[in-house]
Amino acid sequence: MDFLGVDTGGTFTDFVLWRDGQLRVHKVLSTPTAPEQAILQGIRELGLSPTSLKLVHGSTVATNAVLEGKGVRTAFVTNRGFADLLTIGRQNREALYDLQPPPRPAPVPPELCLELDVRRDARGGLLAPLETADLSALAAALCALQVEAVAVSLMFSYGDDSDERAIAAALPGDLFVSLSSEVLPQIGEYERAMATWLNAWVGPLVKGYLARLREGLPGTALSVMQSSGDTVAADQAGDQAVRMLLSGPAGGLVAARFVGETAGSRRLLSFDMGGTSTDVALLEGAPTLTSEGRIGPYPVAVPMVDMHTIGAGGGSIAWLDDGDMLQVGPQSAGADPGPACYGRGGERATVTDANLLLGRLRADAFLGGDMALDRGAAETALARLAGRMATTAEAVAQGIVAIANEHMARALRAVSIQRGIDPRGFTLVSFGGAGGLHVCELAQVLGLREALVPVHGGVLSALGMLVARPGRQLLRTWQVLLDAIDAGQVASALARLADEGLDALRREGLQEAQCETVPSLDLRYQGQAYTLNIAWRGDIEQLRADFHQAHQARYGHRLGLPVELVNLRMAVSGPAAHSTLSRRKPGPPAVPFDRVTVVGCEAGVPCYRRDELAVGQSFAGPAVITEQVATTWLAPGWQGVLDDWGNLRLSALS
């Protein structure tokens, strides 16, 4: 059996193959209009048989559909008086002092928002029953509206889901139906309704995509990465599309933690720079999950890895604003046409073009030499900007890199300094196809002394697919004061959640003895709006004490108010698929295979092939280190050394 991790990005689709104890990596250009085509192409090029393949996939289908506003025609069904719920939202302003914000289109057009005369109270008690005639009228209205999907979100359905299930049963079988009691059974009517609508809006696209992928890979055991960093079997993933919105980036964090712990580094600032975007996060052990994530303008309250994403990547386009000031991104050249140097018709300068012109990226070493870059096209694109700015193409390229670096440094500050965490005690771990070209300068800007460019860093998210664990993140609202319950009641409620997760993993072929359960609770002081997640250790008084301590640590004080339980949470995980890193064998030190001219460096800069570097070999910057799927720029003032597992450990010399 071959094991394959696949990460579909905006520009490239990455592959990591585990066969007979050995890793093999591969990249192909993505096919955004039909992502499965790039996957099938890569599998053919790797010479793999679908019938002996286990594939774990990080998909951007759901993400791109949301960001581009290309979901299917979807109706929103709710209680009488709440049709405008998704439009009103939390009434937050993007710009606090802007008194005339531009109008934003409603997520769901008014004609697709339907109401029913049914109502339950906050405990799930019936106030107004659901009538059969209303169900028949709803089904007829949906047929007339010609929708493909329906999102059903009733008030307090997390307390009793029978009304939502009755609605689903009454609808035509060809509709994709998403129920809030299944998608997100928790308090917070707006966030729950939004998650349900997002799930319905992109669900048919995800389901269709996975069906096409399974059709193209008959006999393959196919799983998908979730936003939480767990994997789920593809036949269970289509109905929970909203849990795949950070599918690929989550794989990167899983792999960063795995590589970091293998290399002895647990406190990490992760920096994943691809062709279209950059994802950053702070790791102290396992990736932190959040229920306050966002995708584009929409809040996403399902559990997802806590990361910050910006539109800065190798394909980010450089442009001049109305004042002729140089800007970079967030628009991207993507995979088609891609940066100008790809030679696919792109004419606008990008970060990749700038790195090529500066000499940090070799035209003949891209993708291990399988894809030659067109330096002349990059020069032409940069010269257009230089002409308008009355400067040189090299100066424009330096400006583009500096601006991109500042965008990414700002993102890294957002997940560290802005949260009260000093980043100087962390190691910057850089991955993604473009990350190694910027890692030294970013570390220097942030005051970090150490950086790590992992082995196979150019395809690290795909590697994360192989080391991720199958799992589920389950939650359910149960509002009650701690004084009103005992440990047995809490344990019983958590056990029901655990059974639900274990049953899902059993359907994937796992045994209960292979699985791990981690319970926790969301708590707050009575009257508060926000909660803190506290691990459950089997004792109510211990839980209360842990909450007080966590509140003191987070907010600097504790209160003498009663403590309220809000949500039950249960993480259920199966075993990790593989531990894929092995120690490198000793060998002779590598020598530079070439010297290149790099703008800003007086002498020729040595070039090394990463796979020829010896364990423990140390070399000072400036240097260019090439590999099949990425390039690392070791800036002046930095030193690199290859560790036992093939990771490049970088340290500042002064």
Q: Is the pLDDT of residue 175 over 90?
A: yes
Q: Which of 540, 573, 606 is the last residue of a domain?
A: 573
481 and 627 within one domain: no
Contact 177/171 with Cβ under 8 angstroms?
yes
Q: Which of 245, 278, 312 is the last residue of a domain?
A: 245
Q: Which of 212, 245, 278 is the last residue of a domain?
A: 245
What is the per-residue pLDDT across 354-404, written as a single tens digit (0 to 9) for each?
A: 999 999 998 887 766 667 899 999 999 999 999 999 999 999 999 999 999
76 and 217 within one domain: yes
Q: What is the mean pLDDT of residues 238-265?
A: 88
Q: Which residues contact 170 (CB under 8 A, 6 or more apart)?
A: 135, 136, 138, 139
The dihedral over CA atoms of 103, 109, 114, 115, expressed in degrees to the nearest 10, equals: 0
Q: Is the pLDDT of residue 576 over 80?
A: no
501 and 603 within one domain: no
Q: What is the mean pLDDT of residues 236-261?
A: 89
608 and 567 within one domain: no
Token digits of residue 416: 């560290």
560: in domain: yes
Task: Give me the domain span that covers residue 544.
Answer: 469-573
**Rounded-to-integer distance, Cα 432 and Cα 454, Å:** 10
Q: Is the pLDDT of residue 153 over 70?
A: yes
Q: Is the pLDDT of residue 10 over 80?
A: no
Q: What is the mean pLDDT of residues 643-654?
A: 91
What is the per-residue pLDDT across 205-232, written as a single tens digit (0 to 9) for each?
A: 999 999 999 999 999 999 999 999 999 9
Q: What is the mean pLDDT of residues 255-263?
A: 88
Contact 150/177 with Cβ under 8 angstroms?
yes
Give the pLDDT of residue 344: 85
179 and 92 within one domain: yes
What is the per-residue pLDDT across 594-638, written as a single tens digit (0 to 9) for each?
A: 999 999 998 899 999 998 999 999 999 899 999 887 899 999 999
CATH for 519: 3.30.1490
Longest dimension (CA), the chain: 83
502: in domain: yes
Q: What is the mean pLDDT of residues 578-604?
A: 85
Q: How confident is the model at residue 305 (pLDDT cuts 50, 70, 90)?
A: very high
646 and 534 within one domain: no
Task: Report the amino acid identity of residue 564.
Answer: E
Domain count, the chain: 3
221 and 175 within one domain: yes
Task: Classify each residue of 381-411 as buried b or exposed e, where b means 16 or more C-beta atoms within 10 Å of its C-beta.
Answer: bbebbbeeeeeebbebbbbbbebbbebbbeb
Give the mean pLDDT of the chain.
91
Contact 414/309 with Cβ under 8 angstroms?
no
204 and 165 within one domain: yes
Q: How confident is the model at residue 23 (pLDDT cuts 50, 70, 90)?
A: confident
How would you classify the pairing of strands 221-225 and 53-58?
parallel
Q: How confident is the model at residue 201 (pLDDT cuts 50, 70, 90)?
A: very high
Contact 7/28 with Cβ under 8 angstroms?
no
Provide the angle, in degrees to the nearest 10, between the axes of the packed helices 393-414 and 439-446: 50
Q: How confident is the model at residue 437 (pLDDT cuts 50, 70, 90)?
A: very high
Q: Which residues contact 135 (CB under 8 A, 6 or more apart)?
A: 166, 167, 170
216 and 90 within one domain: yes
640 and 498 within one domain: no
493 and 600 within one domain: no
622 and 560 within one domain: no
Task: Report the amino acid identity of residue 182.
Answer: E
